[in-house]
Amino acid sequence: MHVLVVGSTRGTGNLVVRALLDRGHGVRAMVRSPEQGSALEERGATAVRGDLEGSLGGVVAGVDAVAFCAGSGSQTGPDATLRVDLHGAVRVIDACVEAGVGRFVLLSSIAADDPMRGSAAIRHYLAAMHARDRILSASGLAATIVRPGGLTHDPGTGEVEVGIPVLGARGSIPRADVAAVMVGCLERDDTIGATFELVSGRTPIGAALDQVASSLS
């Protein structure tokens, strides 16, 4: 499989790049500058120039799937959330529709189903996640939407808990486990159409994705 990873230079997206390469997939990593690309290319990915706030170029052309993990992060304001997290995702979704790239796995957030569930401090962020999840769902793409709890830098455990569509409680999860779940979704067409919440738990990732797949049948 040849996958475009958006948000490839850090966080979960960077771990998705590594997990895809480890499993023998081809990775195209979208970067804003050549410097960002060199570390990814050393690992075996192909870096391509694209900017969620500028020209996307032809970043999606020819890939089999997109893993969208980009976020503007906590160092910028809600205006960047709108421009990057929301509209950047919308533009990549539209580019996929136009280019005929069918498969799209989106990194969202727990409680994105209902931003009113979130605290006042993060409700605006959840509003952006909610809107882009809906726009992806309405796009006609073969989508899977992964909504993890609080992301940690802990090592992955390979064991999670999924809530389809929601969990009964909040929780956290290592980014490495989220990345493994996203790669698992990319490898499994039986997760197409699913939206689920994800935290650390006691179910091996493969079995958790079996639960996701059964929820669709």
Q: Which token pair is 88?
A: 């950047």
With CB under 8 A as the contact rule, the residue among 10, 87, 157, 188 that binds its own copies is 87
**Span from 14-22, 26-34, 76-84, 162-170 in contact with its own copies (CB under 8 A):** 76-84
Minimal distance in Å, beta carbon 92 to its own copies? 13
The verdict on 82 binding its own copies (CB under 8 A) reads yes
Query: With CB under 8 A, what is the number of residues at the site for its own copies?
Result: 24
Closest CA to 107 of 79, 160, 148: 148
Pairing of strands 195-200, 142-148: parallel
Phi then psi for 44, rounded to 5 degrees? Answer: 120, 0
Counting Cα atoms < 13 Å in the Cβ hemisphere of 124 gives 8
With CB under 8 A as the contact rule, the residue among 130, 173, 199, 201 that binds its own copies is 130
| Residues forming the active site | 125
State the Cα–Cα distance between residues 108 and 37, nearest whole angstrom. 24
The verdict on 115 binding its own copies (CB under 8 A) reads yes
With CB under 8 A as the contact rule, the residue among 58, 62, 78, 206 that binds its own copies is 78
Alpha-carbon dihedral sign for residues 41, 147, 213, 158: positive
**Span from 34-42, 101-109, 134-142, 193-201 in contact with its own copies (CB under 8 A):** 134-142
State the Cα–Cα distance between residues 212 and 204, nearest whole angstrom. 13
The verdict on 83 binding its own copies (CB under 8 A) reads yes
Query: Which residues of the chain form contacts with its own copies (CB under 8 A)?
Result: 77-83, 86-87, 90-91, 115-116, 123-125, 127-128, 130-132, 134-135, 138
